[in-house]
Amino acid sequence: MLTRIVKMTFQPEEMESFSNNFEENKHKIRASKGCKGLEIFHDIKEPNVIFTVSRWDSEADLNAYKESDLFGKVWKKTKKLFSDKPEAWSLFTFERN
């Protein structure tokens, strides 16, 4: 399982636009092949800083989503709203045997 964390900093006046776009598309993203969950978090001190955390069966499933028309549509609207460059991490569970 792969966890994807994306940190996005928005122009404060664009938070409603982002929220509307996310609400409109979250169910479609969650229904993408291999998606096991999608959550959204606000930073406590900076409410215009948002983190999305999604879980995927595999990196291939995440990459397929990132190449989909759905991602292209959502990201096109989202990236116009940023006040800073987004950051992203793809993580696997660290386990010691």
pLDDT score for 96: 63
45-62 pLDDT tens trace: 999 999 999 999 999 999
pLDDT score for 97: 59
Q: Does residue 74 belong to any structural domain of this protein?
A: yes
Domain of residue 71 covers 2-92
3-state secondary structure (DSSP) of residue 43: coil
CATH at 14: 3.30.70.100
pLDDT score for 93: 81
Q: Spell out, as residue ranges, where the chain has pLDDT lower than 50.
A: none
For the chain, the residue count is: 97
pTM confidence score: 0.91
- Tokens 């499933």 label which residue? 61
Residues near 82 by beta carbon (within 8 Å), at least 6 away in sequence: 8, 9, 10, 11
Q: Does residue 48 belong to any structural domain of this protein?
A: yes
pLDDT score for 43: 95
Q: Does residue 44 belong to any structural domain of this protein?
A: yes
Overall domain count for the chain: 1
Q: Does residue 97 belong to any structural domain of this protein?
A: no
